[in-house]
Homo-oligomer: A and B are copies of this chain.
C-alpha cells in the first residue's frame, strides 16, 4: 500500500476538470467539476440519512441503480435542495453532460453542494459545459477537487497504489467538508475512482462496510447534511481478475479504500469550518464495538469539549460529561483519560477521578494542531476511533452569515 500523488486521476482511465462557470460570484473559486472514466465503471454509493435530501441524490440513486456509471458532475455554491424544480435541474445537468460526452444520461452521477433553498439556475452550467469537457485531462484532479469546495480552505485529494493478482492497481479520491457534518449518516461529498476490476455488488459491499468506521465516525458540528454522498467508481482498467467475492483480493481493495477514507476523514475535520485543531478520539476497553463508537462520537461532538480544545484547556471533566450522556453502557468509575500530541502524552483522569498532572505540560500538548484523546473504559474488546475538530470564533463567523 503506497501513497502516491494525485486524486481522482491517479487510477488508469480517468480524466477530470474543474472550472468557474458562474454559480459562485467569487470568480477565483471553481464551482463546477467533472470526472470521467474512459470505460464504463462499476459504481457504488452511500447517501445522507437526512429526510430532507438534495434533489441530485435521488437522481444519482436512480442512475446508478444498475451498478454502473461513467461520469461525475458536481457544482458548488448551490445545493439544489428544497427547490420545486430540483429533480428537473439535476436531470438536466446529467443530460447536458451526457450529450457532450456521448454517454448515456443514466451513467452520470450528479451532485450539488452549497446554499439550500435557492433555485439552481441551469444557464451557467449549460454555458460552462463545453469548456469543462474540453479541459478534461489526467492532470485535472486538483481542479476538480477545488470545484467541489464550499467553505473548505484546502482541497482534499489522496491516492494509493497496490497490487491485486499481480497487477498494479490504484485508488484515489477527493472530498469536500467542511460544515454540516455529523455521524449517523452517509457523509459529505466524496468521489473515489479506481482502475480495479470489481463487481458493482462487491464495490457497494466494500463502501458500505468502510464508511461505518470512517466517514460515519466524524463530526464537525452535529448537523447532518442534506446533500451527503460518497461515490466510488471502478473501471477495471488495471486488468486484475475481477473481484466478485470476499477473499484476499477483496481484502487488499478494502485496505486501499480504508487508507483513502481515513485520510480524507482526517482532512475533512482538520479543515472543518473554523477549525484550528484536528481531534482524534480513541476508545478502548468497551464491551463491544457499538459502545466504543457511541462513546468516541459523543466526545468529539461535545461543544464544550471542542471549545476547551480551542482554548488548549485540559478540562477533562468535559470528556467525562460527554461519556456520561452518550447513552453507552459504561462504568464511569473505570474511565481513564489521556491527552496526547507531538508535544507528549499526559494522564488527566484515572478510574473516573482527577489525578495530579502538570498543567504546563498539558497546555503544551493541547497547543499542537493534532490532539489525541485517549479513553479507556474497562477491559472489554470494543475499540473505536472518531474524528472531530475544535469549536472556534471562526465557526460562528462563517455560519453567522453563510448566505452572503
Contacts of A311 in B (CB 8 A): 399-402
A152 CA to B398 CA in the complex, in Å? 26
Q: Are A179 and B316 in contact (CB under 8 A)?
A: no
Contacts of A221 in B (CB 8 A): 303-304
A291-325 interface code vs B (CB 8 A; 1 in, 0 out):
00000000001111001101101011110111111
Q: Are B307 and A396 in contact (CB under 8 A)?
A: yes
> Most chain-B Cβ atoms within 10 A of its Cβ — which of A116, A118, A310, A392?
A116
Beyond A354-B82, A354-B118, whether A399 also contacts B223 by CB under 8 A is no
The verdict on A106 contacting chain B, using a C-beta distance below 8 Å, is no
Contacts of A118 in B (CB 8 A): 354
The verdict on A3 contacting chain B, using a C-beta distance below 8 Å, is no
**One of A46-54, A127-135, A209-217, A244-252 contacting the partner:** A46-54
Contacts of A117 in B (CB 8 A): 316-317, 320, 349, 353-354
- A44 → B minimal CB distance (Å): 23
The verdict on A403 contacting chain B, using a C-beta distance below 8 Å, is yes
A399 CA to B404 CA in the complex, in Å? 28
Beyond A117-B354, A321-B50, A330-B51, whether A392 also contacts B402 by CB under 8 A is no
- A280 → B minimal CB distance (Å): 20
A221 CA to B305 CA in the complex, in Å? 11
Q: Are B313 and A401 in contact (CB under 8 A)?
A: yes
Contacts of A83 in B (CB 8 A): 353-354
Residue of B nearest to A118 (CB): B354
Within 8 A of B (CB), among A353-386: 353-354
The verdict on A75 contacting chain B, using a C-beta distance below 8 Å, is no
Residue of B nearest to A221 (CB): B303
Beyond A325-B50, A396-B396, whether A317 also contacts B353 by CB under 8 A is no
Q: Are A304 and B400 in contact (CB under 8 A)?
A: no
Number of interface residues of A (CB under 8 A): 64
A207-240 interface code vs B (CB 8 A; 1 in, 0 out):
0000000000000011111100000000000000
Q: Are B399 and A116 in contact (CB under 8 A)?
A: no
Q: Are A321 and B52 in contact (CB under 8 A)?
A: yes
Beyond A82-B353, A117-B354, whether A313 also contacts B52 by CB under 8 A is no
The verdict on A115 contacting chain B, using a C-beta distance below 8 Å, is yes
Contacts of A400 in B (CB 8 A): 307-308, 310-311, 313
Q: Are B393 and A223 in contact (CB under 8 A)?
A: no
- A152 → B minimal CB distance (Å): 16
Contacts of A322 in B (CB 8 A): 223
Contacts of A392 in B (CB 8 A): 396
- A344 → B minimal CB distance (Å): 20
Residue of B nearest to A324 (CB): B52
Q: Are B222 and A302 in contact (CB under 8 A)?
A: yes
Q: Are B396 and A310 in contact (CB under 8 A)?
A: yes
The verdict on A103 contacting chain B, using a C-beta distance below 8 Å, is no
The verdict on A395 contacting chain B, using a C-beta distance below 8 Å, is yes
A98-119 interface code vs B (CB 8 A; 1 in, 0 out):
0000000000000000011111
Residue of B nearest to A330 (CB): B51
Contacts of A324 in B (CB 8 A): 50-53, 224, 226
Beyond A51-B323, A83-B353, whether A315 also contacts B224 by CB under 8 A is no
14 A-B pairs with CB atoms under 8 Å apart are A49-B325, A52-B320, A116-B317, A116-B318, A118-B354, A180-B321, A185-B325, A224-B325, A303-B303, A303-B399, A304-B402, A307-B396, A308-B402, A313-B402
For the complex of A and B, the 4 pairs showing the least CB-CB separation, nearest first, are: A116-B317, A311-B400, A52-B324, A307-B399
Measured CB to CB, the residues of A under 8 A from B are 49-53, 79, 81-84, 115-119, 179-180, 182, 184-185, 221-226, 301-304, 307-308, 310-311, 313, 315-318, 320-325, 330, 332, 349, 352-354, 391-393, 395-404
